[in-house]
Structure 1
Amino acid sequence: MQRTPVRMRDLAEAVGVSVMTVSRAFKSDKSVNEETRKKILQVAQDLGYVFDSTAANLRTQTTNFVAVIIPSINNANFADTVGAMSDNLSEAGMQVLLGYSGYNVAKEEELIAQLLRRKPDAIVVTGGRHSPAARKMLLNAGIPVVETWDLPPDPINHVVGFSNAETMHGLVDHIVKSGRTRIAFIGGDSNDDTRGADRRRGFLAAMERHGLDATRLVGAGQTPISMLQGAQSMAQILDEMPDTEAVIGVSDLVAFGALTECQRRGVRVPDDISIAGFGAYDISSVSHPTLTTVDPRAQMIGTETARLIMRLLDMKPNILPEHEVIKIDWSIRPAQSG
């Protein structure tokens, strides 16, 4: 009588680990410690198991890729997040399949549907606000879902991020502490960039908390806001609100555009007006003067997301946490611009 072949699941049960751990052990994955790897290989030898890398994915119903959706591919913050995520996942033999939504909720919904058809092991989305249809698809995906760059009040599954509104409280506090109270904010005209909208709301709340005028809001156009739009918005502020003492840009690119407009007009930064941004882009540290900014720890978001996914995939389904929230510690990076 023909004997039933030994399966990877048999090895997992014999060793007391997950099927994913067995698969990674055969792929020399660094996430499996040497003692566990040796034990798995010894049991495989004892049972006469031969690893078939092609069939392994079918047996474990894994694809070894993580779907990731970001709003923009030319944003340095998102590039840093995806880069760190990819580097960490590759050490576990996994790859990233990337899509970008262009800050469009309908496009994100379309991408989620397309990517889920490819059966990823996990899916990562940017932000915590999605269309009802997209949210329903993610809730029913049956795989780890990670929302990043935000702290949504009603998370779908897991979260790696921070409060964008809170960062603006930090910036406003920093500026007010310097004695400046007439503060303007440059951001987008719409709520397509939900993180930018949160920063605007955070600015308004922080100004109200300090009892200050919060009407110096300049809409710079559709997201993503460019350096040119930042310069044009700064020109509007200087023309229409010349007594403004400080300006916060929704991003470092906006802040840099504002800085260049001041330099064109002979407005001294920070003597006449201070400028701050968001993102800790390279441009903030090489501009003259250097720009005060919020460092959101973009690479850490990617690293922590990858580690969370690998940890979740290693767990048995019956012990998976419903929600795990990893808060990223952003920081204010003071510089010469005030």
Structure 2
Amino acid sequence: MSAIVYAVPGRPPAPPANPWPGMRMTWTGWDGSEWDLTDPEASGVSLQAGVRGLLMPPFRRHTTSSPAVAGSRPRGYSTDERPVFWPVKVFQDTSSQDWIDHDAAFWRTLAPGRTGVWTVTQPSGRSRSLRCRFEELQDGLDIDPSLMGWVVYGITLVAEEPFWTGEPVTRQFVPSTTVPFFPGPPFGISEGSLSTSAAIDNPGDEPAYLSWWLHGPTTGTFGVGGRVIDVPFEVAPGRTLVLDSAPTVRGAREIDTPPAGLSPQQETTWVSERLRTAAVDRTKDLGATSKWGAVPAGTAVPLSVAAVGTGALRASLLPQHYRAW
């Protein structure tokens, strides 16, 4: 008589990963709250068909013409502020009061005197962001939405800075005898040395402006592409000088040095907050020969560092892109 042997069935193979997950979009309000705009179950807020603001910004061509010559001659272009339109559904299906509270929390993030950040993240994890301000609501309701638990709004926002910004590109310099202060590959410098071996690249569509963080004690000149900023005074230990090249915030401001142990994102948030609330303007103390430089789109440009001191240095830029991906 033959025996029947029962075996545990093998585990079936895992289903293949979805090759079409799409992009994730989020809104981070001025109050720090984050709202998922593409997963209706995650936040109770979702974008509908008809979104505008993801593609090219509005450009304005500048030309000259003459009655003696056919056509026109290009003289350049400028970029206007970017209009953004969200058809957005806000829903909450537990009770009328829960919907009212949920709707109020979302609208709290859209104050016209403050800005929030719209972020688009690709399946690869790369992301781009656009800072937006509330401008207008297409008002009008046919029924009390607290009876239904949902409503679709037509919200107009504006991005005064019209380019989507990519992830920061950062280069750091540390004294050769110290441990790197920042994450990432450091470039060692010794006291009084000039380093031109490091370059910084701009993968964006427009010129990008450098931001330098100079942690004391340090002094020297710092720049890109032959245009350098002269810091003739010493940044004291425990203090950080932030040099911003962007035309809208150009200048030198001094703050306390960020505490050790912060993540890059936490450190950036910490510095941004101190620049708003506790910064000392040192722009007038810079050398008279200082020149602010930018990194052209799609290029890598050598950095110029002539530093004296033992403080760590960081140069970074935010690539500016025409589109959200």
Q: TM-score, structure 1 length as denominator?
A: 0.19
Greater strand content: 2
Q: TM-score, structure 2 length as denominator?
A: 0.20
Greater RCO between the two (CA within 8 Å, min separation 6)?
Answer: 2
Larger radius of gyration: 2
Greater helix content: 1
